[in-house]
Amino acid sequence: MLKQEIEILQKGISYMLGGGSGTMTLEELLVLEKYLEIWICNIRSTKMDIMFQEIQFLRNNEELLKAANKYLQEKMEGNTGVTDFASFATNIQNDSFSTFSSTNY
């Protein structure tokens, strides 16, 4: 049975790529359709997982940028030195890099 499924899939691939020497039977087409639907579901699921990870990464970056913005606004109100900002910017970049590298792409 597995051998028959493999033959149908190989025949279907060859048929879809235009290299098929013959036509496929209705039963073969129905089996191929079933497998294509399964593959599409798997692809969509993987795509959704990746999109969710990207959204989480962007949300984390948004929080970092909000914190940096708040810090800068407070510093502008207090009119403090530039050296504090330089160390803060370095910390933000390091935090952003560690957040990015911890996501699973």
The predicted-structure confidence for 83-93, as pLDDT tens digits, reads as follows 555 666 666 66
State the Cα–Cα distance between residues 35 and 9, nearest whole angstrom.
Answer: 8
The predicted-structure confidence for 50-67, as pLDDT tens digits, reads as follows 999 999 999 999 999 999
Higher pLDDT, 9 or 92: 9
Paired tokens of 15: 């048929």
pTM: predicted TM-score of the whole model, two decimal places: 0.54
The reported pLDDT for the residue numbered 105 is 47
The predicted-structure confidence for 13-42, as pLDDT tens digits, reads as follows 887 777 666 677 888 888 888 988 998 999
State the Cα–Cα distance between residues 103 and 105, nearest whole angstrom.
Answer: 6
Domain spans of the chain, in order of start:
2-102
C-alpha 73 chain-centroid distance: 34
State the Cα–Cα distance between residues 99 and 87, nearest whole angstrom.
Answer: 18
Higher pLDDT, 105 or 93: 93
